[in-house]
Structure 1
């Protein structure tokens, strides 16, 4: 992390950073923006970091965390009214969802190019960049991320799940053949424990998953929370995620367990579902849509029904566990 932060602050461009989940990837652009702000106070020249995250559902939580840390941040909004607000912002970090970049790439690039012409665009950082080569259901939109290469500024890609075997594919997709790669020695989560439960018959899988989920969440509720006020009230509720491969199974399991479900293109607001779950805790059933970039405290276990789509998906989804340094 230290080496990566130095590289970002020093302006190394076409940079790919691979750090473990929970290893402080998001801190890199935030710390760099804070240092830019400190320099701005001396020079009087503003500086903007654009941070691209995979999905809009991630932005609200990130904005809250940045504001609580005293960092000026806003969300980029498409449309005429949004464009007016975008141009008036004085924030040092502008958050934008990758699906917006894909669907509204012309408007977004015009906005970013304006910042560049004004001399205030310091860098563009793409978090969870592996999504550009792994998210099948979002390929058309997310693979337009390569358009940011047109911007004359520092370019940084962040991820926790980029196997060395996929490096060349990411370089090609993102038009970064000469990118510098900074990779942690291991991205293994040392505090995580894994177990496999085998069922004799396929029909037993769902019943076993329901029993196990109920047992785990009941046990998790008795584990102490180490968060300090004012975060204690928000983060104290124990949580667990059940992952499955279909939307239909998501809804059926959620109905059986009496909890919420989460997947792409839901009729209800995904932001509202996440906010309610974060505050009240308990179980949630999801597809891989909840496997990328969600940083919610006190997720004490994840449970996969049947095999995940890939090992990359499994690592990403099991990486949602957060237990204040304890084993999960």
Structure 2
């Protein structure tokens, strides 16, 4: 926080869930004469939850829309990553920059610029934001030291300040289970569903009376649909619904299990197993 307030131009914060990443843009946005902070989020579906949390803390924020430009002096503007590298938003950023109102750009889940660029082409275009004359703050819980060189090249960073907490997850356990394979379409997915149901019944994902949200990742949307039907739960992939429907699944989903593809991978999603 001190580095951000002191206007250190490039700050990379590698912090775990619940360790204060959101505070790094919420607090500066509340300071007198704060200017405008642009927050780039990887998932459109998570924007509404971010807005809700900001408003609870009294932080004025708005979601970018080309049809309704944010008012002058809005301290926090949220935009999805795909929109952030589009022509209309870049024009808006350049106008803010020229007027001296753009204070910083914050990229949440910034490691995705490296880890998803092979199938999200827009990730390769994020570096063009570096032409702006403002502070850049990169937030992530998932950036091992060995990835720093690739990360810096992807975002054209030069000697950024890294602030790291311990990322060793001592609470995690890994188990490998071999399930029977079959040439019959859908048979393997049915075996997986049966295993998940048995695991849930054993209470693995229940702690002190609270149920943990269980995320099941699969390679293909067809697998997600089969598993979701068997488990009676929701799915999350690129075209599994409107942005409002996907937001509801993430934030307000009633089922304990959520089956997703890599569209949700790499997100710092709390209260899940």
TM-score (ref. length: structure 1) = 0.73
Verify the 8 A CA contact 2:234 2:255 in the aligned structure 1.
no
- Residue 209 (structure 2) aligns with: 224
Shift of 1:137: 5.2
Contact 2:117–2:123, Cα closer than 8 Å, also in 1: no
* Displacement of 1:46: 4.8
Q: 1:273 to 1:241 in 2, by over 3 A?
A: same
Considering fraction of residues, name the structure with more helix. 1
Matched, 1:250 2:233: no
Distance 1:213 1:278, change over 3 A: farther
- Which residue of structure 1 aligns with residue 23 of structure 2? 27
**1:294 deviation in Å?**
5.5
Q: Indicate whether 1:273 and 2:246 are aligned.
A: yes
Counterpart mapping for 1:7-22 below 5 A? 7-22=3-18
For the pair 1:289 / 2:263, whether they are aligned, the reply is yes
Q: Distance in 2 between matches of 1:217 and 1:89?
A: 51
2:156 is equivalent to residue 156 of structure 1: no
Q: Aligned partners of 1:208 and 1:27: how far apart in 2?
A: 43
Over 3 Å counting, the alpha-carbon distance change for 1:276 and 1:126 in structure 2 is closer
Q: Kindly state the Cα deviation for residue 51 of structure 1 after the two structures are TM-superposed.
A: 0.8
Superposition deviation, residue 20 in structure 1 = 2.4
Secondary structure in structure 2 of the residue aligned to 1:128: coil
Change (3 A) 1:212 1:71: farther
1:214 aligns with 2:214: no
* Offset at residue 245 of structure 1 (A): 1.2
The change in CA–CA distance for 1:55 and 1:89 in structure 2 (over 3 A counts) is farther
Q: What per-residue deviation string (whole Å, max 9, x for no partner) do you get for residues 15-67 of structure 1?
A: 22222234322221112222x2xxx2xxxx45111111112122111111111
SS at match of 2:37: strand
Report deviation, 1:153: 0.9
**Partner of residue 167, structure 2:** 187
Quote how far apart the aligned CAs of 1:208 are.
Answer: 4.4
| SS of alignment partner, residue 72 of structure 1 | coil
Question: What aligned pairs does 1:76-225 form with structure 2 within 5 A after superposition?
Answer: 76-78=64-66, 81-82=67-68, 85-86=69-70, 88=71, 90-102=73-85, 104=86, 106-136=87-117, 138-184=119-165, 186-199=166-179, 201-203=180-182, 206-218=189-201, 219=203, 220=205, 223-225=208-210
Corresponding residue SS for 2:259: strand
Please give the TM-score of this superposition, normalised by the length of structure 2: 0.86
Say which SS state the counterpart of residue 169 (structure 2) adopts.
coil
Q: Deviations over 1:94-134 (max 9, x none)?
A: 111111123x1x32122122222332221111111111111
Q: In the superposition, relative to structure 1, how do residues 89 and 75 fare at CA in structure 2: closer, same or farther (>3 Å)?
A: farther
Q: Hey, what's the Cα distance between the residues in 1 that align with 2:104 and 2:251?
A: 31
Deviation at 1:286, TM superposition (A): 0.4
1:306 aligned residue: none
Segment drifting more, 109-118 vs 144-153: 109-118
Unaligned residue ranges in structure 2 (runs of 5+): none
Q: How far does the alpha carbon of each residue in 1:64-104 deviate from its partner, in whole angstroms, 9 at most, with x for none?
A: 111122211111123xx23xx32x254311111111123x1
